[in-house]
Amino acid sequence: MSKFNLYMVRHGQTYFNIYNKLQGWSNSPLTEKGIQNAVDTGEKLKDTKFAAAYCSDTTRAEQTAQTILDENDASDIDAPITSMFFREEFYGYFEGNDMSQAWYLAGAPHGLPTFRDIVEKYSIGKAKDYLKEADPFHQAENNQEYWKRLDQGFDLIKQNPEIKDGDNVLLISHGNTLLSVVERYGNGQFDVTERPANGSLTKLTVDGDDIHVVAFNQQ
């Protein structure tokens, strides 16, 4: 299994981002600013050679990934590999709901009325567990379910025989997913109470199960 550099980029701005709605497995189109987010990030990464590129199977991630690849002069990749393993957390009943309201319903019964309150006292993982508890259908992903899925995505990348030692890999991701990854692998060095900017870059080194965050929310 190779040691490689993973460039995780948050998708460009969507209409749900403007409206402060939980997006999860649902989708809304990229705004004009969101398309520009992808173009700007693609310009910054145009000379970075990627051995492979991945994204979730949501159109916001696919469009962002394709735009970045189209801007890239150093790589020979026509299109990203898409997988549901890379999707954002599934918010169940709260898909499309106002973000602040959803986290209030999840955290208030525990005396923690905001996402920040939950994370500062416990963790992003605990926030996932609370949201599933608050979901009247209990279909939202809890922390264990979420990581079981996302780990399959990481395995998909690690098992790619085309990726060699020292290669760079592109992964278009999502806000809560980036926070979750940084919380797990960032050794407490980064603030995970605020979502990273659309189009921002988070860099990791991956060596089997040894994963380290080396930069977060670069714009």
Is 176 one of the annotated binding-site residues?
yes
The rounded percent of the chain whose pLDDT value lies above 70 is 100
On whether 15 is known to bind a ligand per the annotation, the reply is: yes
Q: How far apart are CA 104 and CA 126, in angstroms?
A: 14
Quick one: residue 8, left, alpha or beta (phi over 0 = left, psi -120 to 50 = alpha)? beta
Q: What pLDDT score was predicted for residue 34?
A: 98
- Confidence class of residue 6 from pLDDT cuts 50, 70 and 90? very high
Mean pLDDT of 91-104: 98
Q: Residue 96: its pLDDT value, please? A: 98
pLDDT digits (tens, 9 = 90+) for 106-131: 999 999 999 999 999 999 999 999 99
Provide the annotated active-site residues: 11, 88
The CATH number linked to 107 is 3.40.50.1240
Question: Domains in the chain: how many in total?
Answer: 1
- Flag whether 42 is marked binding: no
Is the CB of residue 169 less than 8 Å from the CB of residue 51?
Answer: yes
Cβ-contact 86, 111 below 8 angstroms: no
Q: What is the mean pLDDT of the chain?
A: 98
**Residue range 204-213: average pLDDT?**
97
Give residue 93's domain range.
3-218
Give the integer Cα–Cα distance in Å for 55 and 11. Answer: 9
pLDDT digits (tens, 9 = 90+) for 140-153: 999 999 999 999 99
Instruction: Judge whether 144 and 101 are in contact, CB under 8 Å.
Output: no
31 marked as part of a ligand binding site? no
Question: Considering the entire predicted model, what is its pTM?
Answer: 0.97
pLDDT of 1 reads 80
pLDDT, mean of residues 8-37: 98
**Rounded to an integer, what distance in angstroms lies between the CA atom of residue 117 and that of residue 112?**
5
Is residue 152 part of an annotated ligand binding site? no
153 is in an annotated binding site: no
| Residue 185 annotated as binding site | no
Which SS3 state, helix, strand or coil, does residue 219 take? coil
Label residue 92 left, alpha or beta by phi (over 0 means left) and psi (-120 to 50 means alpha). left
Residue 136: the pLDDT is: 98
